[in-house]
Structures are given as structure tokens and as C-alpha cells.
Amino acid sequence: MKIYKNISFYIVLVLIAILVASLMGTNEVPDKMVYSQFLNQIEKGNVSKVDIEIYTATVELRTSIFGDQYTFLVDYGSVEMLQETLEAAQIKQPDLEINFIPDKPAPWWLSLIPSLILVGLFIVFWFFIMQQSQGGQNRAMSFGKSKAKLVTDKDKKKTFLDVAGAYEEKKELEEIVDFLKTPEKYIKLGARIPKGVLLVGPPGTGKTLLAKAVAGEASVPFFSISGSDFVEMFVGVGASRVRDLFKQAKENSPCIIFIDEIDAVGRHRGAGLGGGNDEREQTLNQLLAEMDGFGVNEGIIIMAATNRPDILDPALLRPGRFDRKVTVSYPDTKGREEILEIYAKNKPIEEDVNLGNIAKITPMFTGADLENVMNEAAILAARGNLEKISEVLIKEAIFKVTMGPEKKSRTVNPIERKLTAYHEAGHAITTKAVSTTSKVDRVSIIPVGEAGGYTSSRPNEDKYFYTKGQLIEEIMTLLGGRAAEEIALGEISTGASNDLKRANQIARDMIVKYGMSKTLENIVFDQQEEVFIGRDYGHVKNYSEELASLIDKEIQMIISDSYKKVKNIIKDKIDILTKLAETLLEKEKIEEDEFETIYAGA
């Protein structure tokens, strides 16, 4: 137990022992009498016996209120003075008994107590130092040991039933499971199972969950470690941990080694302004050597996850190391519905909740996002003291996850509130008028984060690419707030700064990335990012200043034309804009149905 390793425990134990010993050696103390009272009793002849010790005298009285022969303890200042007083009293009272009691020597063991305490404290201190020293040696010896966590059948394991919305991904990984279960089928045909499987995809799409499901389906040990666990301050420690990890894996073969965030240790070698990181590069070299070192079909499969495959070292991705790359993408509508069903199993959901509708209004949500939505909905239900989670609460949780919590307590002056109402109404009207891919879901002037309000729109369906016309629609939608401010209020504000930034970025991407220029058709001028130098400094232009001027003119033309069109739309629908803004000032928040009613009937 930890308490026995603490020096304070032993100190308290010794003090308790001393206290007990002192209490056991203490006799019952009789009542005390002051010296003047003692002299008064002698003059009265009421003293029958006196026992004199070094500093005190014990007196027996002839009569007392407590009864005959009562003993008192007398404090006095001088033995000589007491002796003279008693001799004079003995002349008058011959029967007065006087006894001089010599000092009793202290027990022999009492003098040893201080020495024993010092020796005991020294032993405890030495024991404590030795324990710390031994622990330090153990820590030093384990410094190069792998930090991988081993998950076996005894632990709660995941299976493919716990993974939804990843049909092709599971199909690819079923071969790994089959090999781990029946390797002889592949060996007989001379097939070499991939040594490494790289799971690539955005954060939260379920890469780690898929790796755990493979181990659970195959019922094999699962070594899980993060790429950052290899990298230490001292050069060589990471390489030592890699060796120890593969040693453990060979002892538990067949098994799976899972390295999460492998880009922390597998970055491109020799990159960067200041050279490479010796510790990380040695760790990567050792990882490459170990992957080459274990034989074909040994039953050890390395799975790794990353969302930055572009910065991995090419040697790590060549055949024979990470042979197979599985891209884990965003789930589609059906996949999101299945994911929602998994996370709704252990929650009390109302019977009329349609998870299919929830899946439709959550495009580009990952599995982690959906789990967060269901958790937030449960929290909202608990906050409202409800017994079940309704569809309204789930939708409210979606807004909370995407937009952030509403700041209803923030005080907004009337001028800013009115400006926000017209700004958001402009966004909503422009979205309704021009967008062929989205529809307005909610309009609000309640502050969220740094924004004074928001207009939420959702796609009609999952989209994986956009046409030029749809990108123009997106730009016009972003410019709707600024146009509404200018036309309705005759003034513009800083509230459109983020909208303008996003609109300009879309226009620039149309020209330099997507080749959608009128004068420079099908030519891409994308800047190359040097990720090891930094996003702000690591841009390499692959076009001249003359072309840069043409690009700027094209961007200006797209923004200007879009803004003119938006202003015309706002002018044509000024009555709807006014009605919508007034309703927002009154209610602060308008849902889809009410917005459609206002737009159709104003």
C-alpha cells in the first residue's frame, strides 16, 4: 500500500508509541494542597504522616471533609525549610510520622527512548530513499518500453456491428479479419496479406473504431498507441519503444498494432527550414526497419490512422509496408441514419422521432458529430426535466453543435439589433431566391459566438462537388446581408466582414483552383503549400505578376456582378425584407415554416 511508503506514516506511528508508553507509566495523581494550607493543618495538629520527596510532599490528614486519612500532594519551594517546619511540629506532636523517600531511578529503558527514536527515524528515512532510488531505476529501465495498451478478448471489444455508414471500408477490412482467422487459406495460394493498412479520412469519421472492430471480429490482441507516444526529448527512446512494441507483438501473434495519428512520427524526412528532427527520424527509420523485419504472413498487421496523408514519408507508403490505403469518408444519408440508431439505443427516445429526417438535415456530419448531437439532446432533455428526448430537442442540439450556444443574456442596443435583423433577413431572402441546393432552416438575431445572429440553411441532398453556377449562388447568398443593410438602412457595417472574406475566397478558388475563369479558361493557378515551413510563408506561386493581375480582375468581376444581382433581388423583395426584419425584432427567431409563410404572403 502507498501509505507504508510514506515517511510521515512511520513518524506518526513512533509518536503514538511514545504517547502510549508515557500514559501507561503515569500513576493516579492525588489532589493538591497549597503550601500555606499545609502549614495551617500542621499548626492545627491535623497532619498524621508526611512523605517527603525531592520536589513534593505527600500528606495524610487525621480528619478531612473527604474522610479520614485523606492524601494530599503538597508543592513546596525548599526542602530545608520544610524539614525545619516538620521538626518543630514533631516536638509538639510526637506521633507525627515523617519519612524521607529517596529519588526513584528512572527505568533503564527510558533513557534509551531518544536514541531509539533517532535510530528509527534514520532507518525509515534510509528505507524511503532506497524506495525512491529503486523506483527511479525502474522508471529509467522502463523509459524505452512501449506505451501501447493491450486490448484482449477479456476487455469490452468492438465489432463491425458497432460501425455504421462505412460499407466499403468494412468490406476492405473483412479480408484482414479473414486472414487473421484462417491464414492457411491465403498461404496455400501463395497470397501475401498486406503488412500495413493506412486508414485515411477527416477527424471523427471512425478510423480508430474500424481498427478496434477488426481486432474484435478476429478476436486477436490489439495493441493501441499514438504516434506522439514514440517521440521523446532524448534521441533513441522512440526507436527503443518501436523495437519493444514489435517484440510484444511477436510474442502475442497473431495480433494487430494500431498507431493513431501516425503523422506525428511518420512525417517526411529531411523537411523543414532547420533540418530534420533527429529523434522523430530515428523513430521512423526504426519503424520502417521493423516492418521489413517481420516475415511474410507472420500474423502481425499494422493499422494506422491519419488525416494528413500528404505529409507522410514516401518510404512509409510503399508496397511491403503500408500496402493498402482505406479512405474513410463522411457517411451518406443512409449511413448517418444507421449511426444515429446506434447512438440512440441507450437513450429514451420518443416514439415519433424520425431519425431519417435527422439524417437528412445533418449533411457532412461525421460519426463523432452525430454522437455529440445525441449527447447534447440528452443533456437538453435532462436540463428540462424531461423523461424522453424529442425530435425538437435533437434539432436544437444540431444548431447548438454547429452554431454554438445562444447568448440570450447579451445586451444589444436597438440600432445594432435592427441592423442585425435586416442583415439576417437579407441572407435568408437571397438564399430562398437564388439557391438551388439549400433552403432556409432558421433565421435568428440572438447572438451566437462573435456573431450578432445567424441564418441557418441546409442542403437539399448530399453534395460532393459544385458547379460554377452553384458557387456563384453561394457568393450571392453571402453578399445578401451587406446588400440588405445598404438598401434598407442606407448604411453598411462591419458585420459582413466574415461574409465578404468567405465570398472572396470562393471567387479566388473558382479562378486559381477550379479553372472557371472567362479569360483564362481551364488554367489552374493553385498555390503550393509547404506544410513544413508554415501556411503563412510556405506559398509558392506558379504564375507571373501579369497573370496575378488578371486573376484579381476576374475575382473583382465575379464579386461585383454578384453584388449587383443581389441588390436587385433585395430591391424587388423589399416588402418581404421589411416584414421579415420586423418579425425578427419581435420574436428574435424564425423557423423554416414561418419563414416560408412570410416569404409567400408578404
Which residue type, as a one-letter code, is found at position 317?
A: L
Exactly one of 217, 338, 376, 424 is catalytic; name it: 424
Residues 6+ apart with CB under 8 A from 51: 57, 58, 99, 101
- Strand pairing partners for 590? 443
Mode of pairing for the β-strands spanning 71-75 and 196-200:
unpaired
Residue with cell 498507441: 225
Mode of pairing for the β-strands spanning 32-33 and 71-75:
parallel
Residues 6+ apart with CB under 8 A from 562: 472, 475, 476, 479, 503
Dihedral through CA 219, CA 221, CA 227, CA 232, nearest 10?
Answer: 170
Contact 442, 598 (CB under 8 A): no
φ/ψ bin of 534: left (φ > 0), alpha (ψ from -120 to 50), beta (otherwise): left
545 carries an active-site annotation: no
Interatomic CA distance for residues 129 and 120, integer angstroms: 14
Coil, strand or helix at 470 = helix
How does 10-40 read in b/e, with b if 16+ C-beta sit within 10 Å? Answer: beeeeeeeeeeeeeeeeeeeeeebeeeebbe
Q: Which three cell numbers mark 451?
A: 456573431
Which residue type, as a one-letter code, is found at position 293?
A: G
Interatomic CA distance for residues 339 and 205, integer angstroms: 11
Residues 6+ apart with CB under 8 A from 148: 223, 224, 225, 229, 245, 248, 257
End-to-end CA distance of the chain: 77
Q: How far is CA 302 from CA 261, 310, 420, in A?
A: 13, 19, 54
Contact 297, 192 (CB under 8 A): yes
Q: Which three cell numbers mark 278?
A: 533527429
Report long-range pairs for 496-504 (Cβ below 8 Å, ≥24 apart).
496/423, 498/451, 499/427, 502/478, 503/474, 503/475, 503/478, 503/479, 503/559, 503/562, 504/555, 504/559
- The residues annotated as belonging to the active site are 424
